[in-house]
C-alpha cells in the first residue's frame, strides 16, 4: 500500500491538533506502516474580526480540500479521508462537487471514515446560535435540515454509497454519549454505520490501540490494504469451492462459542465485526434474523471465501473489541481453521 495517504479533516472551531492521538497510533502501528498521515486545516471561527477576512463557506472549504488533495498530495496513488464532526460535511460537499465536475478526482479516494458527522444537523444551543452567530456561514449549515447539506448527502448516497459498483467505501460512526451530534444524526441514512463509546470530543481521542475509535479505523485500513493487494484482473474474487468443509456439528460448536462472546447477540456489534472482513466477504454475508441463524450463514461464507483469510480477520476484530475474554482463544483458533492453507 505504498503511496496511501490518510487525510484527517477537523471540525467546527477545531484544528489539526485534534488528530494527534490518531496519527501517533498509526505511526507506531507496524501493521499500518504503509500508510502515511496528513492533516488538512481550514479557517473556522465564530466571528471574523479582521475587516479583510471572512469565515469561509462549506463550498469554499470543500474546494480548498480538493486543491490540497490535487496539489499537496499529487504523487499519492491512494487517499483515505477521515473526518470529525463538521469535517464530515466538508468531505461530503467535496465529494459531491467532484462528481459535479465529472468525478475524475474520485479515482484515488478509496475510503471515507466519518466520526460524529452531523449529517442531519445539530440543534445544540440552536436559539442562541441563531441570535449570536447568525452571520456565520459554517454555523448555518450545521443547523438541522439544511438544504445544501441534504443535497450533497443525496448525491453521495445515490452516486457513491448505493452505486452498483461503489467507487469507494463510506463508514460513519456515532459517539454513544454524544450530546452535540446525537447518534441518530451521525448515523443518518448511511448504511455502513456504527456506534462506539465516547462523547463528541473523546470519540476522536483514542488513548490506546484498543480504543474502539482506533480499532474501527485500523480494521478499515487493513481491509483496504487487503482489497488493494488482491490479484489483478478486476472483479470480486470468486468463492473457493468446498473441499472438506466443517461438519454441521463443527459449525454448531463454533456458533455456540461465538454467541458466548459478549455483544455477539447485538446486531450492531456483529456489524462492527463484519466491517473488518475483506470487502468481497462482506458483500456475501447474510444479515438479519435470529443471531444464531445469521452466524451459521456467516461461518459458511467464511469457509467459502477462505482464500481471503476472513477467519483470521474475524478473530482479530473480536480480539480488539473484547480483549482478554476467556473464550477468545478457542474462538480465534476455530475461526482460523476455516481459512485456506495459504493464510499466514
Nearest to 185 by CA among 171, 170, 172: 172
Cross-strand partners of 113: 82, 171
Residue 52, pLDDT score: 60
Say if residues 144 and 120 touch (Cβ distance below 8 Å).
yes
Which helix (H) or strand (E) segment holds residue 5: the answer is: strand 4-9
Which parts of the chain sit beneath pLDDT 50? 1, 125-126, 129, 231-234
The predicted-structure confidence for 189-209, as pLDDT tens digits, reads as follows 888 888 999 999 999 999 999
Cα 157 to Cα 57: distance, rounded to the nearest angstrom:
22
Handedness of CA 318, 324, 327, 328 (dihedral sign): positive
Cα 157 to Cα 162: distance, rounded to the nearest angstrom:
6
Count of CA atoms in the C-beta half-sphere (13 A) of 190:
33
The three cell numbers of residue 196 are: 462506539
- Please name the residue ranges forming H helices in the chain: 20-28, 58-67, 86-100, 126-132, 137-141, 147-156, 183-187, 212-228, 248-259, 267-274, 279-282, 291-304, 310-321, 328-337
Residue 117, pLDDT score: 92
The predicted-structure confidence for 102-128, as pLDDT tens digits, reads as follows 999 999 999 999 999 998 765 554 455
Cα 206 to Cα 221: distance, rounded to the nearest angstrom:
16
Cross-strand partners of 174: 195
Residue 55, pLDDT score: 76
The three cell numbers of residue 85 are: 464532526
Nearest to 87 by CA among 227, 203, 207: 203
Predicted model pTM:
0.66
Kindly calculate the radius of gyration of the chain based on its CA atoms and give it in whole angstroms. Answer: 21
Nearest to 11 by CA among 68, 84, 80: 84
- Domain 4-227 indexed as CATH 3.40.50.150: no
Nearest to 85 by CA among 154, 193, 182: 182
- Give how far Cα 15 sits from Cα of 84, 90, 93, Å: 10, 14, 19
Handedness of CA 262, 265, 271, 276 (dihedral sign): positive
3-state secondary structure 121-166: CCCCCHHHHHHHCCCCHHHHHCCCCCHHHHHHHHHHHHHHHCCCCC
Residue 125, pLDDT score: 47
- Give how far Cα 225 sits from Cα of 33, 64, 81, 163, 241, Å: 11, 28, 15, 22, 25
The three cell numbers of residue 273 are: 465485526
How far from chain centre, in Å, is Cα 206?
Answer: 15
The predicted-structure confidence for 300-337, as pLDDT tens digits, reads as follows 888 888 888 999 999 999 999 999 888 899 999 999 99
Amino acid at each position: 500500500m505504498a503511496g496511501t495517504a490518510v487525510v484527517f479533516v477537523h471540525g467546527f472551531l477545531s484544528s489539526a491538533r485534534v488528530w494527534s492521538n490518531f496519527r501517533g497510533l498509526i505511526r507506531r502501528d507496524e501493521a499500518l506502516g504503509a500508510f502515511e498521515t496528513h492533516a488538512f486545516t481550514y479557517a473556522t471561527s465564530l466571528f471574523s474580526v479582521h475587516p479583510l477576512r471572512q469565515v469561509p463557506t462549506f463550498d469554499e472549504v470543500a474546494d480548498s480540500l480538493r486543491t490540497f488533495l490535487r496539489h499537496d498530495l499529487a504523487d499519492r496513488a491512494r487517499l483515505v479521508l477521515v473526518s470529525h464532526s463538521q469535517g464530515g460535511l466538508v468531505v461530503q460537499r467535496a465529494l459531491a462537487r467532484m462528481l459535479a465536475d465529472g468525478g475524475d478526482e474520485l479515482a484515488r479516494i478509496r475510503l471515507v471514515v466519518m466520526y460524529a458527522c452531523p449529517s442531519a444537523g445539530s440543534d445544540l444551543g440552536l436559539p442562541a446560535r441563531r441570535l449570536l452567530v447568525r452571520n456565520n456561514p459554517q454555523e448555518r449549515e450545521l443547523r438541522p435540515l439544511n438544504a445544501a447539506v441534504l443535497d450533497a448527502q443525496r448525491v453521495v448516497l445515490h452516486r457513491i454509497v448505493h452505486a452498483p459498483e461503489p467507487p469507494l467505501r463510506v463508514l460513519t460512526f456515532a459517539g454513544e454519549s454524544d450530546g452535540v451530534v446525537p447518534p441518530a444524526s451521525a448515523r443518518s441514512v448511511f448504511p455502513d454505520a456504527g456506534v462506539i463509546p465516547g462523547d463528541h470530543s473523546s470519540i476522536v481521542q483514542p488513548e490506546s490501540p484498543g480504543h474502539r475509535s482506533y480499532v474501527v479505523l485500523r480494521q478499515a485500513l487493513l481491509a483496504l490494504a487487503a482489497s488493494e493487494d488482491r490479484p489483478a484482473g478486476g472483479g470480486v474474487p470468486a468463492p473457493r469451492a468446498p473441499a472438506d468443509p466443517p461438519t454441521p456439528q463443527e459449525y454448531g460448536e463454533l456458533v455456540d462459542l461465538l454467541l458466548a462472546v459478549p455483544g455477539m447477540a447485538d446486531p450492531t456489534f456483529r456489524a462492527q465485526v463484519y466491517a473488518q472482513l475483506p470487502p468481497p466477504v462482506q458483500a456475501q454475508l447474510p444479515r438479519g434474523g435470529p443471531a444464531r441463524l445469521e452466524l451459521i450463514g456467516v461461518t459458511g461464507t467464511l469457509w467459502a471465501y477462505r482464500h481471503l483469510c476472513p477467519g483470521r480477520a474475524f478473530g482479530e476484530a473480536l480480539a480488539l473489541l473484547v480483549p482478554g475474554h476467556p473464550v477468545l482463544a478457542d474462538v480465534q483458533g476455530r475461526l482460523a481453521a476455516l481459512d485456506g492453507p495459504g493464510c499466514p
